[in-house]
């Protein structure tokens, strides 16, 4: 991942490992939460489900024309997303699936491997 406030790794990469407050992908270690989009893998500055407002998904909305499904990893456990967030994403044609981060990372890997139009918003877990 590059340095700076907008850390970004072009391309869609499989997640090799998660935990310890971050992720391993493409031979790199990323500390913190992660956003996987058609444009690449982005650092995502959110730490807990309560922070996931409309603003957290602005980058997803900007790429919604290339996304059918958004996997949201809500941490160690499944946490529901706010209705307004779900409705805003659905208005852009994006189906939202909230699940624990581990399940979301594994599902991301399968869907990317299948060439599906998927995005992932993954909260880091310890």
Q: What is the pLDDT of residue 4?
A: 39
Q: What is the pLDDT of residue 6?
A: 73
Q: What is the pLDDT of residue 54?
A: 95
CB 35 within 8 A of CB 121: yes
Domain annotation for the chain: domains and CATH numbers: 8-122 (3.40.1230.10)
CB 2 within 8 A of CB 10: no
Per-residue pLDDT of the chain (126 residues; tens, 9 = 90+): 433 347 799 999 999 999 999 999 999 999 999 999 999 999 999 999 999 999 999 999 999 999 999 999 999 999 999 999 999 999 999 999 999 999 999 999 999 999 999 999 999 999
Query: How far apart are the C-alpha atoms of 21 and 65, rounded to whole Å?
Result: 31
Six token digits for residue 23: 């992720």
Six token digits for residue 97: 């699936």
Q: What is the pLDDT of residue 7?
A: 79
């Amino acid at each position: 991942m590059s340095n700076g406030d907008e850390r970004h790794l072009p391309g869609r990469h499989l997640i090799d490992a998660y935990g310890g407050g971050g992720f391993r992908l493409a031979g790199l270690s990323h500390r913190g939460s992660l956003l996987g989009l058609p444009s690449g893998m982005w650092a995502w500055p959110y730490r807990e489900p309560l922070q996931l407002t409309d603003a957290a998904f602005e980058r997803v909305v900007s790429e919604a024309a290339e996304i059918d499904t958004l996997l949201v990893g809500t941490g160690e456990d499944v946490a529901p997303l706010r209705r307004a967030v779900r409705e805003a994403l659905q208005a852009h044609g994006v189906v939202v699936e909230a699940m624990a981060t581990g399940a979301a990372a594994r599902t991301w890997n399968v869907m990317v491997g299948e060439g599906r139009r998927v995005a992932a918003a993954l909260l880091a877990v310890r």
